[in-house]
Amino acid sequence: MYEHKDPARGQQSRGVAGGTTAHTRTRRNSGPDSTFVSTMGAVLHWLRDVAAAILFFVLLLLLWVSIFLYGSFYYSYMPTVSFSTPVHFYYTSDCDSSESPVCSFPTANISFLKNERDQVMAYGQPYRVSLELEMPESPVNENLGMFMVKMSCYTKGGRTVSSVGRSTMLHYRSSLLQSLSTLLFSPFFLTGMAEQKQLIDVELFSDYKMNAFQPAIGAVIEILSKRVQIYSSQLRIHAYFTGIRYVLYNFPLTSAVLGVATNFSFLSVIVLFSYLQFIWGGIWREEARKRMEKENSQTDLGAPEVIGSVTEASDFQGNDTVAGPSEAIDAPDVPEVKEEESPDWKEPEQEDNTTFHLWLLQQNMTSRFRC
């Protein structure tokens, strides 16, 4: 029977030592490969981080450019929404009049230029122009009744391009209503927190449009009454928007988001196509260059070869005899080879030309041997 025997200790130690040595040798052999793999992994990881950083920077730049473009468009396309300026009336009082201390109608000159150079109103944009009068509820104004307000717009040369006149008056309040109002608001009247006055809004133009050929730079406002009493007045110009301007003015946040997103998408497409053109353009140019070189080489191979003269053929044979004119060889008729227009038949045509040249040279040599 087979008996199992344990190996000697020396053999076991040698086996263990041999296995350890082989394992160490294997680890030593695999050391450079693992170092190269780890180095390449680190390089690829660094390149991935650099590509991510470049992509983030490009996206951030596109977002900033999109916001800048939308802001520039909004600033240039949207005109002034509202404009308000105080109206200071002037009049003369150097006349002899017992009825009124004012000798002329109150008149004011208003400028439509902002910062003395920019137009307040845009060309073709409809505006509502109104005059706000702050008038006291005095007996003089109550007895005045209706009075006229006139406005005349003029150009840089002083020419009047538009003129309008509107009538207005104080709102009627009965004596009982005035007494109750005075009694109810007496604490505010006594402390100066309220006054007995009315704000009269006079609409001068409901749909005024600036003429591009004759733009108005100012207006003259005149109140056709010498007895009117006014605390202060304001000229208000408000724009009425339609179409895209209406959306931009009434929905500013939604318009901003849509505008920036549209600009960002458009710029992203442009950058993407530019990148593809930069990457694939070199490959396309290289392929085109190789194609042109191939076509040029095929053209050079297709050119007819020059056949040597009869004298050169006789020298090749070692014969000093020169062939006379009577020994000219009449070559048989050879069908003409027509060039095919299609580029696919270039190689067969070249082969036919080469065969023809070889056949002609063979006939020449044969005739020389016969002679």
Give one DSSP letter per residue of 121-169, joined into a string: SPBT--EEEEEEEEEE--HHHHHH--EEEEEEEE-TTS-EEEEEEEEE-
Tell me the mean pLDDT in the region 307-317: 45
CB neighbours (10 Å) of residue 345? 13
Q: What is the pLDDT of residue 99?
A: 65
**Could you tell me how many residues make up the chain?**
371
Q: What is the pLDDT of residue 195?
A: 87
Bridging pattern class, strands 127-136 and 118-119: unpaired
- Per-residue pLDDT band at 147 (split at 50, 70, 90): very high
pLDDT, tens digit, 9 for 90 and up, residues 317-357: 444 443 444 343 344 444 444 444 444 444 444 445 666 66
- pTM listed for this prediction: 0.57
pLDDT, tens digit, 9 for 90 and up, residues 347-363: 444 445 666 667 676 67
Q: What are phi and psi of 110, to 5 degrees?
A: -115, 140
pLDDT, tens digit, 9 for 90 and up, residues 235-288: 999 998 988 999 999 999 999 999 999 999 999 999 888 888 777 766 666 677
- Per-residue pLDDT band at 17 (split at 50, 70, 90): very low
Between CA 206 and CA 215, with CA 210 as vertex, the angle to 5 degrees is 140
Buried b / exposed e over 49-68, threshold 16 CB at 10 Å, is eeeeeeeeeeeeebeeebee
- Candidate CATH numbers 1.10.510, 1.25.40, 2.40.128, 2.60.120; the one for domain 82-250: 2.60.120
In this structure, which amino acid lies at residue 249?
Y
Q: Please give the C-alpha separations between residue 52 and each of 144, 172, 351, in angstroms, as whole numbers.
A: 79, 75, 58
Q: What is the pLDDT of residue 8?
A: 52
Please report, for the chain, the start and end positions of each structural domain, with discontinuous segments joined by +.
Answer: 82-250, 310-370
